[in-house]
């Protein structure tokens, strides 16, 4: 299960070494092959962790680069000793296992390693003297070898250069210490009996998904076998007769996926009675998915009254009343029995309530994604409709399932949907930073692995439950790249597009300029402009259109490179077209003018705005009453920076610089100084640079008005910022300038007065 504890020092060091192999444990031979430094010796505790964590990183972290020669680092036991390995998925190939052949492995779990072939069976023989526990679960090709088609003509060889041939003679001969064996979901045509017969003292066996009509050979271990898993095996009365002879069994799993195929066998009262009578050491039983006859449950007349109890004498499952003690675990998922009142077990998997559903997810995640996905779907309904009573456990279990089954579409769909509800504000206070970061990582994994609409939508919606950009800071580049990839197809699903643009906008708001420049280089500006262009073609001004302009406003703030990209990618053309197509869209106008204010702050780019067409548009927008004063204010800001370059930069015959000056002054005089603003300044630097100059008094007047408005309406926020950035001396100098207008000087005095009053109010007067 995903952990909510802080990382241990060992875990941190392991992670660092794996991410920096060349700088820590290794050097590169011939610039490509990893080699361990000759003076290094690593004990098994360290080596096991390095290999197992390496597998986890390759599976879960797209930024982690796998090394082709990684497993060769552990080829010599004199320097690196391995004992317990957990390898999974198609990361592991035959040559990787071959590199470890000299190791004295005690435990080897190979899970869904589909690229392993019969060559790896030969490698396994090297571990036969020491191996105690072996899992080949889901290694569907490990009993096949490639046969060359040497006897065929060239055409056949080109079409099918190799042929898969079943290896029929492999047995576990010589594996004298092997006690725990998992052969679940291997190929169905292997002769299991022949393969297992050499094993002397087997204690645990998993034959999930293997169809055997005769399991009589299991009785050779009737005095040693303590765990038997026959998940999805078609059972018969003959199977039951054999099972009840295995009198040492403590764990029995005969569960099935009830959706997988038609199934004749039914669990009767007689079968359950046989288990209770003959398997008296049983502590765990799983009969999930089975059809059970009604006579398994006690009648309503015989039902014990009172609250739910796990006391066997009160059991609502009639045969279990003869048990001596409650079971530690009873699997009843997708059976009618899980809905009974008195179940004699400490932990029950089922679909009756949250506790049972969580137990099901916990029990089946590793090897049964088909069951896990349905259990997570039930959890989704609980979190959506009711209130989750174990939200931390639920969240940790869903994270673990998503990590374990990164490439299982059904798990990714149901898991990402559940995450949306489990991370909302109702549960946020109970979740640590570490746990929420784990959620973000599995969400991004899902977005990387699946372009499917439902997964993408669920993942984007889940990200909306986080504080942006703060909580996404540790994965900032990755999340931006993924969102931009979603937005590249301009005919993307409308809801995903809207959410993704909203997230993009939030991610570039309130971050430093380095972040904005990095995102700009990823294609952010071009992507937003393409979205805008598509909306223009469709003549649609919706949230995607407005969010796109807002995102451009944010990403160009004090970022000249991004402003230049906007101009280079025909941003001004789109601005004019939007203005013409949507003349009544006030918020759109505000966002566009805010963006152009950022462009106008860049001196090198201002000449591109100096055309009769653009100046006329900006001048006309001075009279706009859209969104309060915002559109007029931003248009005046754009013109203030252009005017600041002086008469020599004014290339236009029409309108004249004087005409624009007068319209700007008139607009500023019409604004209410107490207007509340829909704007957020991180710095006053672009405004302050307009104060100490005489080339454009109206620009100076606009800048002073802006400061006066902000410090009077939002003193707590903007007085400290103005003081910090050295604005007060500049205003004092302005008051003494002969070229400054009296109205401007009056406002400057009021700004100084507000800041002085703010300082007095916040001064500590305590003794």
Instruction: Answer whether residue 278 is part of any domain.
Output: yes
Q: Which of 582, 669, 666, 662 is nearest to 626 (CA)?
A: 582
Measured from the Cβ of residue 324, the count of other Cβ atoms closer than 10 Å reads: 7
Indicate the pLDDT class of residue 3, thresholds 50, 70 and 90: low
Q: How many folded domains does the chain comprise?
A: 3
pLDDT number for residue 490: 62
- The continuous run of DSSP H or E covering 134 comes out as strand 133-135
Residues paired with 87 in a beta bridge: 110
Locate 188 and state its tokens: 């169905």
Out of 82, 109, 140, pick the residue that ends a domain: 82
Residues 214, 67 share a domain: no
For β-strands 84-88 and 107-111, DSSP reports them as parallel
Task: State the alpha helices, DSSP H only, in 203-268.
Answer: 237-243
* pLDDT tens per residue, range 228-286: 999 999 999 999 999 999 999 999 999 999 888 767 788 999 999 999 999 999 999 99
Indicate the pLDDT class of residue 580, thresholds 50, 70 and 90: very high
Residue numbers of the domain that contains 228: 201-352
Residues 205, 59 share a domain: no
* pLDDT tens per residue, range 707-747: 999 999 999 999 999 999 999 999 999 999 999 999 999 99
What values do phi and psi take at 84, rounded to 5?
Answer: -130, 110
The percentage of the chain sitting over the pLDDT mark of 90, rounded to a whole number, equals 78
Out of 305, 333, 352, pick the residue that ends a domain: 352
Residue corresponding to tokens 């439950």: 465
Residues 209, 76 share a domain: no
3-class state of residue 252 by DSSP: strand
Instruction: Answer whether residue 593 is part of any domain.
Output: no
* pLDDT tens per residue, range 147-189: 654 444 554 444 444 457 777 788 999 999 999 999 999 877 7
Looking at residue 273, which CATH number applies to its domain?
A: 3.80.10
* pLDDT tens per residue, range 34-58: 999 999 999 999 999 999 999 999 9
Q: Environment class of residue 15 by beta-carbon count within 10 Å: exposed (0-12), middle (13-18) or buried (19+)?
A: middle
Task: State the alpha helices, DSSP H only, in 137-199.
Answer: 154-159, 192-196
Residues 59, 205 share a domain: no
Contact 640, 676 (CB under 8 A): no
Residues 208, 69 share a domain: no
What values do phi and psi take at 292, rounded to 5?
Answer: -115, 140
Q: Which residues contact 427 (CB under 8 A, 6 or more apart)?
A: 388, 391, 395
Radius of gyration of the chain (CA): 35
Looking at residue 723, which CATH number applies to its domain?
A: 1.25.10
pLDDT number for residue 767: 38
Rounded CA-CA distance 562/558 in Å is 9
Locate 628 and state its tokens: 């309060």
Out of 59, 82, 105, pick the residue that ends a domain: 82
What values do phi and psi take at 164, rounded to 5?
Answer: -80, 120
Instruction: Answer whether residue 503 is part of any domain.
Output: no
Rounded CA-CA distance 396/400 in Å is 6
Locate 367 and state its tokens: 């090897």
For β-strands 33-36 and 26-29, DSSP reports them as antiparallel
- The continuous run of DSSP H or E covering 147 comes out as strand 144-148
DSSP letter for 63, please. Answer: T
* pLDDT tens per residue, range 637-649: 999 999 999 999 8
Rounded CA-CA distance 16/673 in Å is 56
Residues 764, 629 share a domain: yes
* pLDDT tens per residue, range 333-387: 999 999 999 999 999 999 999 999 999 999 999 999 999 999 999 999 999 998 8
């Amino acid at each position: 299960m995903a952990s909510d504890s802080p990382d241990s020092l060992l875990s941190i060091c392991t992670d660092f070494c794996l991410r920096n192999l060349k700088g820590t444990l290794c050097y590169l031979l011939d610039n490509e092959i990893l080699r361990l430094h000759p003076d290094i010796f690593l004990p098994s505790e360290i080596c096991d962790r390095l290999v197992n964590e390496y597998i986890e990183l390759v599976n879960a972290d797209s930024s982690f680069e796998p090394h082709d020669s990684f497993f060769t680092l552990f080829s010599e036991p004199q320097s690196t000793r391995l004992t317990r390995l957990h390898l999974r998925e198609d990361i592991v190939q035959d040559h990787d296992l071959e590199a470890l052949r000299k190791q004295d492995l005690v435990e080897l779990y190979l899970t869904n390693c589909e690229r392993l072939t019969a060559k790896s069976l030969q490698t396994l023989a090297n571990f036969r003297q020491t191996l105690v526990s072996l899992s080949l679960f889901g290694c569907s090709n490990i009993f096949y070898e490639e046969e060359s088609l040497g006897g065929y003509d060239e055409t056949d060889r080109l079409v099918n250069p190799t042929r898969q041939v079943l290896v029929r003679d492999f047995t576990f001969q010589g594996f004298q210490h092997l006690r725990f064996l998992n052969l679940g979901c291997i190929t169905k045509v292997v002769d299991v009996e022949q393969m297992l017969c050499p094993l002397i003292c087997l204690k645990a066996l998993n034959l999930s998904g293997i169809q055997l009509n005769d399991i009589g050979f299991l009785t050779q271990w009737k005095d040693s076998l303590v765990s038997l898993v026959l998940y999805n095996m078609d059972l018969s009365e003959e199977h039951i007769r054999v099972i009840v002879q295995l009198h040492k069994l403590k764990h029995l799993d005969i569960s099935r996926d009830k959706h997988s195929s038609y199934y004749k066998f039914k669990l009767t009262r007689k079968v359950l009675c046989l288990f209770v009578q003959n398997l008296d050491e049983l502590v765990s039983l799983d009969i999930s998915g089975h059809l059970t006859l009604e006579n398994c449950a006690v009648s309503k007349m015989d039902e014990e009254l009172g609250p739910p109890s796990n006391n066997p004498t009160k059991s609502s499952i009639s045969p279990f009343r003869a048990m001596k003690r409650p079971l530690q675990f009873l699997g009843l998922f997708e059976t009618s029995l899980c809905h009974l009142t008195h179940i004699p077990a400490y932990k029950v998997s089922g679909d009756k309530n949250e506790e049972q559903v969580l137990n099901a997810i916990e029990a089946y995640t590793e090897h049964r994604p088909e069951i896990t996905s349905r259990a997570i779907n039930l959890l989704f309904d609980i979190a959506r409709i009711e209130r989750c009573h174990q939200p931390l456990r639920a969240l940790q279990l869903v994270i673990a399932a998503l990590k374990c089954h990164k490439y299982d579409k059904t798990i990714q769909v149901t898991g990402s949907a559940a995450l949306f509800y489990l991370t909302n504000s109702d549960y946020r206070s109970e979740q640590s930073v570490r746990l929420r970061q784990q959620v973000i990582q599995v969400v991004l994994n899902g977005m990387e692995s699946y372009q499917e609409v439902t997964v993408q939508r669920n993942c984007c919606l889940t990200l909306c439950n986080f504080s942006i950009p703060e909580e996404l800071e540790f994965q900032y580049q990755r999340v931006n790249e993924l969102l931009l990839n979603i937005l590249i197809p301009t005919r993307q699903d409308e809801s995903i597009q809207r959410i993704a643009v909203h997230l993009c906008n939030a991610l570039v708001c309130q971050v430093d300029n380095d972040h904005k420049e990095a995102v700009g280089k990823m294609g952010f500006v071009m992507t937003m402009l393409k979205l805008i262009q598509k909306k223009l073609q469709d003549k649609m001004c919706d949230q995607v259109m407005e969010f796109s302009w807002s995102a451009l406003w944010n990403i160009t703030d004090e970022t000249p490179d991004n402003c230049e990209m906007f101009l280079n990618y025909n941003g001004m053309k789109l601005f004019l077209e939007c203005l013409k197509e949507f003349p009544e869209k006030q918020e759109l106008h505000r966002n566009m003018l805010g963006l152009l204010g950022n462009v106008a702050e860049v001196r090198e780019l201002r000449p591109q705005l100096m055309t009769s067409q653009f100046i006329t548009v900006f001048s006309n927008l001075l009279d706009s009453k859209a969104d309060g004063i915002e559109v007029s204010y931003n248009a005046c800001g754009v013109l203030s920076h252009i005017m600041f370059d002086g008469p020599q930069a004014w290339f236009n015959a029409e309108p004249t610089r004087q005409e624009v000056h007068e319209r700007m002054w008139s607009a500023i005089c019409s604004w209410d100084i107490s207007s509340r603003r829909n704007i957020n300044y991180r710095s006053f630097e672009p405004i302050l640079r307009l104060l100490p100059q005489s080339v454009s008094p109206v620009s100076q007047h606009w800048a002073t008005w802006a400061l006066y408005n902000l410090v009077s309406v939002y003193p707590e926020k903007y007085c400290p910022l103005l003081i910090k950035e050295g604005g007060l001396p500049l205003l004092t100098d302005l008051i003494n300038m002969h070229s400054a207008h009296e109205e401007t000087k009056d406002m400057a005095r009021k700004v100084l007065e507000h800041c002085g009053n703010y300082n007095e109010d916040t001064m500590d007067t305590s003794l």
